[in-house]
Structure 1
């Protein structure tokens, strides 16, 4: 805005005392000061407001005005409340330095002028930024992205002083216009966004996290003020849509600024669509391999398809020495009418995000491995083929060879891959060339396989907020396999592991292949009424006794079994005297009619506790 506009605003009551020829100066901000030397707080273009408390004698005016002129301020507005008038020495100094000077009436508060200037300047900046956003949108929709979301978020920071970030439903940061958010805060914002979206609240969602106010804008929201549930079934997108998190409370924002931020969110949705489109080839390749595996195709045919997939998933490596299969399903209570055709893509998007968010141990910071994720879907399940080979460039210096033995321990039988491990990779992989020369220049590290629980990690609570009370996410992970022959078994193994996870409580649960070699595999398939009767017969007498006497018999039983019946170790763990422990175990045996020295009775108690 111009100084002239301030003078023409009657509500401000400004009176020009000098500098009539400088009224076209632009005002970029406002500052109130009574310091003799405010230069450290000036950056140029400000309207300086002062109550004249710095002036103790006429000689003080000249150095004060000289400092303002050197800082490049737009003008000076002096209040009449302190002296009842504006001193002539100040008028003379301003005329000498050609600095516009205004008198502020005693009945006009500096806060009124400040609010007016800030509102006008912000509006102008928002208009300029809106033009930039529109230009950027045209660039992104007509060709390659013109710098991505970071450009617009940077403009929000520089022009409107708004810090903003683009986050995924798991809290992973896609882009930011300031310092990166702490992982815990990003996850908390994602959870707040998911919960608000599920509840059907109108956007933007205003939340407070760790004492800081944020406004959350859904990426690709159908329109400000619209309820997402009224436009689409929110369950189909809530777990995959990005969000724009702005560090500000949008509650008092004018409509123009809200519209601007909605435009930014829509612009970023273009980038989201572009990235989704880049996954089309990987999804198609994964779908072809999964279809072949499910249809019982010959291993040679599957291996041929993997030779096509490997260069896409592992650029520069030629073949993946080992693969893991991950299966995920998203289900909604009372959603039997929802077809597998609708549920599959939801699970596919969720699994892609989980795998992108959980990069391998040792990965260099900032490495984007999203182009290594291949997820298909079939019969309502998402099925991922995860390669367990990563180039030395991805892992950073010194990582090569660190995890070979661990991968072997996970069931692959892989040997360590050092700097010359490329030949081993080509020899082991399902698309090997036989010589290994093409891959020998790239050091390959066989990272430890994916762990089911670690895969979910911190995203468990975040995704739970999006699932709501009626949704469940279950996930199963296979052991690693190093040939096409093993993929069919790996797929079935991952599906069995997912069923084990589905038998557990909680909205988000996972199970790995190692759990399929124990009693855990059997428990999910025991009918519910049998499970309830079995556990009630053994444990209800102990629960009733604990409730009446606070005897802690159930915790004692769990600890005793966990210590393999060792009196000394169990007493030490519970911080009890051995005689006290013997008394409690005797009471357990008396109440249940069982003998904890017998293997059969120990096993019955163990299973009852696991099923309870």
Structure 2
């Protein structure tokens, strides 16, 4: 840092300190030097600049007036240059600087102001070179840390070698990615995650208890993914510290992009496993190898569970798959976890009774619910299979059980068999068969509704939901009973199924359920 003291200590400049100014003034940063002979240089003088003057203005202004103008501009101090006509600094100048607590330095008549300017330029050049060398050295260290797999923790460790500041990395889901000298509470991390959703993102975040963190954004592939936090206010950080933190944030962005790419590959890898299981014999030979890649023994007993949030059509949230993965890591259990648009499926080794799956599923729902406050998680249990060859049925059952729980609410955990025998039968058939069955039965009603603007599909669904009671159905649909009777006659005419016959009602009900089951 270029300071007045560094100038005074330079023996080649023949400088003499006349007034020290306020405490610490000699050690504060000087931005640049400014040569002037104007009585009032304040309009042209920058803050923290050092004034160089020969006192030519003394013919037009008093020393106190000149010094007052310099102080008003926020200058760092004055260097008064002696000359043949003025062999010593005027006493009025010394007294004015002392009264204003402004540093005053005297320079000999044989030393030109250009020598001071060259000294300042040389000092700034050395500082700039040192800063660049430090940035290059730090960049090499950061690159080495990432290439060796140290991740975000390695980046913070490199920073802490140069700057003793508390640091943390928090992602947009409020999770702690890494920390060094900072221990954020769950509430503080949640506050960070919420503020990262602001547009534009904040420069500082209030963490409560009079603690404020400076924010350096971490992004990948055009998105904001996390924040590097320094538990210091921006105004309390030096230029070097800011530059280092910004540099570290860029390296963290590279690490985030790499992790996202790896994670995307893992998710696709896991999703392909589900496709292999559902494909049946065509790809069953690939399933064991894929399970081994996740550390799951395909030759042993395996269980399947599916998790989602309540609410019809509720999508999965960013971070849900990771939350399920972290649960099984905490359980010290290998698992193949795959996320879809509506649920997350986990295939895990299971050598205990199926009844114990309830306890596992309950803990899983609780752990995920804690990670996503305000959301209710449900887990469908598909049961177990002797080995990888028998995974199709547990997989279908777990997803269907999860689907029903998500729509109906009620208990957060259930097995497929607990949710109704007709859904058990539906789950035993492949999707194409069920779609074809629904199309055959409901197709004529859908076509009539599309052409005439009628509500035959809604009518039969409401009729069956109300147990075949005419009055209750008519009231639910806000129509007259005669209107309902005419609609049911048309349904019988189009489908060939009489709603008064139990077996025909079953066909219509299963067609509606199959249509909803497989879309």
* TM-score, L = length of structure 1: 0.42
| Greater relative CO, 1 or 2 (CA 8 Å, sep 6+) | 1
Determine which structure has more spread, i.e. the larger CA radius of gyration. Answer: 2
* TM-score, L = length of structure 2: 0.48
